[in-house]
Amino acid sequence: MDLKDVKTVGELLEIFKNQNISMYDDSPSYEDQNTPQLNDGLSAEEIENAMFWYPFTRGVMLVAGPPGAGKGLFANMLAWKLKRYFKDKVVIMDYKPRRPFGFYIPFTRAMLVEQLERLQEISGWDEGSIDRFPDEVSKFDNHQWRSSRGDVFIHNAVMVLDEFHEYMDRRNRPPIGHVLGDIFKFWRHMNLLTIAITTQKSDLDYKRFQKAVTSEVRCSWSVQKVNGKRTSTIAKIQPLQFADEGGGILKVKGRMIKRRIDGAAPREALGGLRYFDLFNTTNVKSIGIPKSLAKEVHREQRQRNMGDE
């Protein structure tokens, strides 16, 4: 029966009596979801490190710095660690990591739309018949939401978005930026951490993104060298909170944390491989093409082709 077809209170009561249909939200409370759930087999050192990073497993983290400052090293290290430490944590990436990184979910615009449609299904009754929401489909446990169309991967995830200005360009304001801006409002509900990587914070849309930032990481290479090469980035992590006081500002919340991350050191958890082996430091970057420029070039090409005829 569709909710729109219910005409009397009696019919609605019959729906509530039907034990095969979930009419209540039986999902875990915020306190239940806020309890760290670690994977088995971690060493004492890894457990201690997991507790250090646990406050950063949710929110919107801006990783900024000039080209070659170690932003990718920090982001890939953190994403890999969170996946290794915490139960059922998945990583979503808009680029291809190296094989040692292990399992990840590719991020595309089509994937994001599909995920939001699944989220709409389990979040209410807008999609029609409640007969399509039996308990075994609509309820979710501590770590995963499920719809009749499949899992909602963006729940309990670490979403790493490289060249983030392509999504949140303050000049062009692409449609995907509006969607991501809405997602950033509900990171707490979805147990989601978004790691947004960019060179210039000023390139990003202020209203949709910068107000949503919960922590900012500034990366710069350490002067310390190994075999004549700089292999470590110094990450300065600053927890933030937004306060709207006539124009809006980002206030500092908590002390700044400094971490040195050596990308060249062998790691036991990686079988002797390095953090540098998790990702390609020279991967191909795409550059957004303004529609006006593309139209201009295509128009000139058509004119040349017509002239050749």
The domain that holds 174 is classified in CATH as 3.40.50
Which neighbouring-strand residues pair with 229?
A: 226
Q: What is the pLDDT of residue 11?
A: 76
Of the listed ranges 170-179, 208-217, 248-257, 291-300, the least confidently predicted one is: 291-300
Burial 132-157 (b: 16+ CB within 10 A, else e): ebeeeebbbeebebbbeeeebbbbbb
- DSSP per-residue letters across 189-202: HHT-EEEEEES-GG
Record the tokens describing residue 306, joined without a space.
């017509």
What is the C-alpha separation between 242 and 295, in angstroms, rounded?
40
| C-alpha radius of gyration, the chain, whole number | 23
Which neighbouring-strand residues pair with 193?
A: 59, 158
CA distances in angstroms from 59 to 40, 185, 269, listed in the order given: 25, 9, 26
What is the C-alpha separation between 159 and 153, in angstroms, rounded?
10
CB atoms within 10 A of CB 195: 27
Are the beta carbons of 56 and 79 closer than 8 angstroms?
A: no
Average pLDDT score over residue span 17-33? 57
Q: Which domain holds residue 58?
A: 3-308
User: pTM for this one?
Assistant: 0.76
What is the C-alpha separation between 291 and 283, in angstroms, rounded?
25
User: Helical H runs in 2-57?
Assistant: 9-17, 30-33, 44-53
pLDDT at 29 over 90: no
Characterise 59 by phi-psi region: left (phi > 0), alpha (psi -120 to 50), beta (else).
left
Token pair 């990366």 is at which residue? 219
Q: Could you give the 3-state DSSP secondary structure of residue 145? A: strand
Record the tokens describing residue 283, joined without a space.
């991967």
Structural domain count of the chain: 1
What is the C-alpha separation between 164 and 180, in angstroms, rounded?
11
Q: What is the pLDDT of residue 142?
A: 37
Average pLDDT score over residue span 121-130? 53
Characterise 90 by phi-psi region: left (phi > 0), alpha (psi -120 to 50), beta (else).
beta
Cα dihedral across residues 275, 278, 282, 286: positive or negative: negative
pLDDT at 244 over 60: no
Residue type, 129: S
Record the tokens describing residue 199, joined without a space.
């060179």
Q: What is the pLDDT of residue 2?
A: 62
CB atoms within 10 A of CB 209: 24
The DSSP letter of residue 146 is E
| pLDDT digit string, tens, across residues 69-105 | 899 999 999 999 999 999 989 999 999 999 999 999 9
Record the tokens describing residue 151, joined without a space.
């899992």
